[in-house]
Amino acid sequence: MDNSENLKLLELALKNDILDSSDMEKIKESMKKKTLEKLKNELKPLHPHTIRQNEKDHRWRTRVPDKSCKSGLRMIVKTSEEDLYKALADYYGLEWYDDEDRVTLESFYPTWLKYKALHTNSETYISRIDSDWKAYYLGTPIVKKPLRKLNKLTLDVWAHELIKKHSMTKTQYYNSTVIMRQALDYAADLNLILENPFKYVKIDGKRMFRKVKKKPDATQVYQTAEENAITELAWKDYYNHNCTYDLAPLAIPFLFQTGLRIGELCAVRYEDIESPDYIHIQRMYNKDTKKIIEHAKTDCGDRQVILTQKAREIIETARSRQKETGADSTGYIFSMDGKPLPQYAVAYRFRKYCKEYGTTVKSSHKVRKTYISTLLDAHVNINTVRELVGHSDERTTLKNYCFDRNTEAEKRKKVEKALA
């Protein structure tokens, strides 16, 4: 009979007044001592290093082999002798615990995800985490193992197999292991495990990660000729009433003038124009739930965006059409039925106009990159650009959104002029 069964019998005896609480505590303490003695005996042939209690802080410590450390040994320090032996048992893969309802990553994931959701305003981020769970974790053997059995070796094998199976880049690996890394941190905080063993997993990035070939700048932004042609096609569609959503074509030039995220564009209302020259971005449209989220994507995403003359003209054009047709001209700017313009209506227009012009189909997010690159080309201060697009730091703006919009001929001409 294991300890968990013994405890059930003891609790039953306590409930029926066969034992009192002091007797119960004494028996539990005795069981703990037996478990500790059992661990000591099992670890004796496995662990050759000294186990001692420090005289100053009274904490227990020992060393275990670890190739990631320069000395080849890693120190383990615990507040009690029992905790130290349990940590050693975890390290050597011994089973020291008796819990029928062993907590696995599979059973713990919903609890952690709920906790994670408390610490972010981004439903999109939580949705992306859940997508990663389904893609990389659900149905795999690792999620069915008790958390206490997940040691460094087990997780090291899992991580390397994950990278190989999915041919991952460094970024993909980091994003996909957020669940394992942070869920085990949370489990340690709840004392379900003694520490997070995943923090000891090391990946040789040069050998393991798939190299990412930088995409040509021309594929990441709209060049000037493309922007002009697509904007012209959008206005043509608008005046010809050539679409289901009357105001969808106007969203295209508006994006080029403001650099908004497509979810922000669909959620803008007339009330957000708090002054003639600025629009307040403070909510998002969620394409999955098809509902408005009454907050920005991030804290920095809540911002004031400059309205250019062209942007103001687009807004007035939208309002005029709404008034002409008797639609609501006080709610969502790009709506004809009082509901937010769906994202797919805008995405469809980009695909349509790119094909009509004969260029590679580029997403609405490439417009955001175009907006940023255009401002930087015009020597707008980087901090101003960062604030306008809602980034938290300049590195994100420069590393991921700054591209050359010039054609090869224009590049050569500028280089010639600069070096003349």
228 and 365, same domain (yes or no): yes
Same domain, 190 and 228: no
Nearest to 340 by CA among 352, 327, 348, 331: 331
For residue range 198-212, list pLDDT tens digits in order.
Answer: 999 999 988 999 888
**Final residue belonging to a domain, choices 30, 58, 92:** 92
Burial 362-375 (b: 16+ CB within 10 A, else e): bebebbbbbbbbbb
Contact 352, 339 (CB under 8 A): no
Cα(133)–Cα(137) distance, integer angstroms: 5
Both 226 and 180 in one domain: the answer is no
Residues 238 and 366 in one domain: yes
- Residue 249: the pLDDT is 94
Residue that terminates a domain, selected from 158, 188, 208: 208
Going by the DSSP 8-state scheme, the letter that residue 149 receives in this structure is: G
Q: If DSSP codes are grouped into helix, strand and coil, which group holds residue 279?
A: strand
In a domain, 97, yes or no: no
- pTM of full prediction above 0.85: no
| Dihedral, CA of residue 320, residue 324, residue 326 and residue 332, to nearest 10 | -20
CA distance 315 to 294: 22
Residue 378 CA, chain-centre distance (Å), reads: 32
Q: Do 370 and 300 have their domain in common?
A: yes
307 part of a folded domain? yes
Show the CA angle centred on residue 209, arms to residues 206 and 210, nearest 5°. 115
Tell me the chain's radius of gyration from C-alpha atoms. Answer: 30
Q: Could you say which of 181, 208, 235 is where a domain stops?
A: 208
Are 113 and 69 part of one and the same domain?
A: no
| Per-residue pLDDT at 30 | 67
Q: Is residue 100 part of a domain?
A: no
Q: How far is CA 371 from the centre of its chain?
A: 24
Q: How many domains does the chain have?
A: 3
Residues 318 and 185 in one domain: no
Going from the C-alpha of 130 to that of each of 112, 162, 275, the distances in angstroms are 11, 17, 40
Q: Which amino acid is at 65?
A: P
For residue 36, being part of any structural domain is answered with: yes
Phi (first) and psi of residue 297, to 5 degrees = -60, -40
Can you give the CATH number for the domain in which 189 is found?
Answer: 1.10.150
**Which residue ranges of the chain lie beneath pLDDT 50?**
1-2, 7, 10, 14, 19, 24, 99-101
Give the orientation angle of helix 394-401 with respect to helix 365-377, to 10 degrees.
110
Let me know whether 143 and 233 are in one domain. no
Same domain for 327 and 391, yes or no, is yes
Domain hosting residue 59, numbered range: 3-92
Q: Are residues 124 and 42 in the same domain?
A: no
The two tokens of residue 173 are 């690996």
Q: Is residue 99 part of a domain?
A: no
Q: How far apart are CA 102 and CA 143, in angstroms?
A: 12
CATH number, domain of 314, equals 1.10.443.10
Q: Are residues 235 and 347 in the same domain?
A: yes
Quick one: 110 and 199 in the same domain? yes
